[in-house]
Structures are given as C-alpha cells and as structure tokens.
Chain A
Amino acid sequence: MVKAIDNRWWLAAAVAGFAALPWGLGIYHQHVLIVSLFYVMMTASWNLLAGYTGQVSFGHAAFAGIGAYASGILATKVGLNPWLGVGAGTLAAAVFGFLLGVLCLKMGGIYLSLTTLGFSEILHIIINNEYEITRGTMGLQVPGLIAEYSKLAYFYIFLAGAIITLAVVHRLIHANIGLNFRAVQNDERAAAALGVDVVRVRVLAFTVSSALAGMAGALYGHYLLLITPQIPSLDQQFLVLSMTVIGGLGSFAGPVIGAFGLEILSEYIRAYGEYHVLAFGLVALIVARFAPRGLVGVWKQFMDRRRPAA
C-alpha cells in the first residue's frame, strides 16, 4: 500500500515537471512536444489492441483520419464548435470501429488486419475523389480549438488528451476486462472454454482503440489547422506501429517511450529527408525480430538478469 502511494506521488511529480517543460522552450520545441503527445495518444491506443489483445489493426491512422475529417467537415460546413467536433469525431471513429469489428472479428485476427488495411485504402480513395468536401490533397482548412492560437495552450490540450488516453488504457487493462483481453491474446480457445465471449472482447477493444484514435486525430486536425490525407496515410500508420514496437508492445510505458523517442529523433534526422522512413523501418524490423518486447522488454530482461547477482 505504501508503495502504491509512493508511485502515485512520483507520477504526479513527473506530470507536473513535464507540464512545466514548455515554459523554457521555444516555439519549435513546443511544436515537437505537441506532436509527440499526439503520437502518445496514437501508440497507447494502438497498443491497447495489439499489445493486450493480440490483434493488429492497420487502420489506426485511418481512424485518426475519420476523427479529423468528421470534426473538420462539421466545423467548415455546419459551423459546429470544434470542441463538439472533437466529440463527434471520436464518436464517428467509434461507430466505424464497431461496425468493422462486428463485420470481421468473428472470423479471427487476420481478417481484422486485412479489412483495416482495405478500409484505410478506401478512405484515401474517398478523400481524393470527394474533392468538393475534403479538398483532397490540397487539405481542408479548419478552425482552431481556441480563439487565439497559442502553442502553449495546445500543449496543455494535448497533454490532457494523452492523460485521458493513458487513463482509459490503464483502467481497462487493470479491470476484469483486462484479464479477458490477455486471456484472449494468450489462448482464445482456452478463454472461450472458461466463459470468455471472445468476439465481444475483441470488438470492445477494437472499438475503444479506434475511438481514442479518432479523438487524437480530431485534436491534431484542429492543431494543424489543415487536414490532409497525410493524417490517415499508411506512412502515419507505419510510424505509430514502429513507435509501439520499438518502445515495447504490450507494456504500458513502451508506447510512450517509443512515441517521444522516435518523434524527437525524427526531428533530428529530418535533414536526411527521404532516408528517415527507411531508417525507422530497418530499426523497427530489427527490433521486432530480435527484441519483440521492444526497449521496455530489453530493459526488463536486463534488470531480471542483474537481480540474482545483486
């Protein structure tokens, strides 16, 4: 019990320290932090699905796109308040996630991967074809979340978004449903024999994960003020996947570490432009092959090995 309280204080101190960080930074570095926080929302929610239930969605960026475009279109065509738009975007992503999940999850995990990849391609085609509404590759100009544009304010909005996302993930994996998630990932036949409704558990995880991606995307759109097909692109999906895999799939801290690490790194190697996707790809490939639990896994292994010696 004492230890739990200790942990809480550490966490509060860490968040407070992090919240004070942008005051000492310039606009560019504030921007990097905001983008990192966007990726924390994306990776943590993707990890909820892939890391804790063992299903790989290739449509996570697409769901962020659903959130961004839903909110953006409502704001530009109907004049909806962007904050309500973020809610609508989250809801839209949840609905699409639920429908896709019901459609393919009774057939098993591989079907989810195939269908989400297809969904992501189709979304691209629709965005490019419905130029009148989405402005295609030119991008859709949308209003901001706050009247006076301020990086600092956006930083706190994104920090709140990331904390909400992490809190939802934390709550789920530590509740009874989290036991079911892991049981399904470990052995779905055994889980079913013990009374776990495997399809329902998977659909639930997929819906929540997609909804969180929708929220992240909607916030991101209103930060960039320009929504382009880059948000729901496969490159974006790849980045989210690589961050999670490199940080540590199936661990709570892994996606956070991966999101910050890779986003900050990618700012440093931006100068090398075209090589940067390739470099991330190769690193992710090597990590996924030799350290499937990512940096967090390597760290845990290292600590385990040290403990008996100490």
Chain B
Amino acid sequence: MALLEGRRLSKRFGGVQALTEVDFAVEAGAIVGLIGPNGAGKTTLFNIVAGALPPGEGQVVFDGWPITGKPAFRICRRGIARTFQVTRPFGEMTCLENVAVAIVNRRPDLGRAAWGPMAMEYLEAVGLGALAETAAKHLNVIQKKRLEIARALATEPKLLMLDEVLGGLNTQEIQEAVGFIRDLRDTRGLTVFWIEHVMGAIMQAAEKVIVLDQGRVLMVGTPKAVVADERVISAYLGT
C-alpha cells in the first residue's frame, strides 16, 4: 500500500513549468529513489510534499490524509520529516539544541532533563555525539548534513525524505551511509524517499526508482530496469 501518493502535481514558477502532472507513489516500508538531471524538479516535488511550497495543481495524500497545501509544521507532525539539500542548521544553537527543537515540538511535556539524553542518542546515531555542545555554525558541510538527518529522525517520522545527503563523501563513507539508511528502514520501520546524485547508492539501496526529467515522470522501475533504459541514459547525457 502506498504511504505517500502524489496525483497530477503541477507547479509553475513565473514562466517556468517546474512540474507537469506528476503521479508517484511511495510504498510503506520501501526505500524509493528519486533521480533525474539538474533542474528536473526533484527538490520542488519534495518542497510541495513537505509543505514548504504551495502546490500549483494536484493532490498529495499521506497515510490516507490529504496534505496538499497544509503548513509545513502540520505535515511534520503527521509524520513526514525532510532534510534540506542546502543544509539549514540553527547556526547559533548547539547541535544538541538543534535536535531538541524537533523533540520538544512532538513532546512538549519533556523538560531539559528528559530531552537531553534523547537528543544525545540521535546525535550519537549519526556520529555527532562528541560535538553535542558545539554551535551548529561551526560544523563542516558533511557534519551539517548529519545534523539534518539527526533532527529529521528526532521528529519520529513514518516517512523520511532525504535530499542529497551523500555529497562530498568518499566511497567507503558512502557504503557506511547506505548501510545506515537501510538499517533505519529495517530496524525502525521507516519509509525512505530519497533524492540522490550518487547513483551507486540508489542502485544498492532502493527497491524502486522514480526518474524525473524536465518536470515530468520519465519512468518508474527497479534500479536495474532504470539504468538499462535508453530514455534515462539519454536524459542524463543531455541528448
């Protein structure tokens, strides 16, 4: 059953048609990749699902609820967490406080004594435990991406939307990250919707891949089928 479904989503920016009648589904418990060349509309799609952008036309249904055009914080509380491609840490706050923001809006009853250890667990899960008291603005790009994931996890989502979290990692680190994300799905029962440029990672982790090109769905299929497809290859080569 689809946990997240988009029906005929369209969006215009001024004179540019960013998305045209996009239909897609993300099945519960799956890792679904979203790929496509630059400017294909991947992040726009994420922004509409997460409520960061008002939709043009079409509908988004999550877990049986229509969430089209709902404010971002309500969508988050419904169970969708997202990371930002260009990271958006709360720079003047410590890493621990960054994660705490996500916790206290889900559990307003918790005091510092309770959320402190919880936030620490999330930080340790992404390997930032040692930097808990560091102001987020002092992190490097890779650490900031990890912080994004820790914050997203701390909202206890059903669906985790990742927007290019592997940029800047070497091959071995990518392997570890893929393992980490598969582990999230397997142990926490998370569903993952994942934009990524590192194709190898998507090929390894995803059960299903959606390919966007110029704001339209080019094809949907297994990673194997997608990489073999002529249209996908030519879209990427830009011919």
Residues of A whose CB lies within 8 Å of any CB of B are 176, 179-180, 182-183, 185-187, 189-198
Contact = CB atoms under 8 A, between A and B. Distances in A.
B92 A195 contact: no
A180 B52 contact: no
24 contacts: A179-B93, A179-B97, A179-B100, A182-B90, A182-B97, A186-B90, A187-B88, A187-B89, A187-B91, A189-B88, A190-B84, A190-B88, A193-B82, A194-B81, A194-B102, A194-B105, A194-B154, A194-B155, A195-B73, A195-B106, A196-B73, A196-B101, A197-B73, A197-B105
A180 B105 contact: yes
Contacts of A191: 90, 101
B145 interface: no
B67 interface: no
Contacts of B52: 189, 192-193
Interface string B71-107: 1110011000110100011111100010011101110
Given A183-B93, A186-B90, A190-B84, 20 more contacts: A176-B110, A176-B111, A176-B115, A179-B97, A179-B100, A186-B89, A186-B91, A187-B89, A187-B91, A189-B52, A191-B90, A192-B52, A193-B52, A193-B73, A193-B76, A194-B73, A194-B105, A195-B102, A195-B155, A197-B105
Contact of A179 (B73, B81, B104, B106): B104
Contacts of B102: 194-195
Interface string B4-35: 00000000000000000000000000000000
B48 to A, nearest CB: 13
Contacts of B111: 176
Interface residues of B, number: 32
Contact of B72 (A179, A182, A186, A193): A193
Question: Which 5 residue pairs are nearest across A and B when measured between Cβ atoms?
Answer: A186-B90, A195-B105, A190-B88, A192-B72, A176-B104
Nearest to A182: B93
Interface string B138-155: 000000000000011011
B108 interface: yes
A185 B97 CA distance: 14
B50 interface: yes
A190 B93 contact: no
A180 B104 contact: yes
A48 B102 CA distance: 22
Nearest to B91: A186
A195 B105 CA distance: 6
Nearest to A250: B92
A195 B97 contact: no
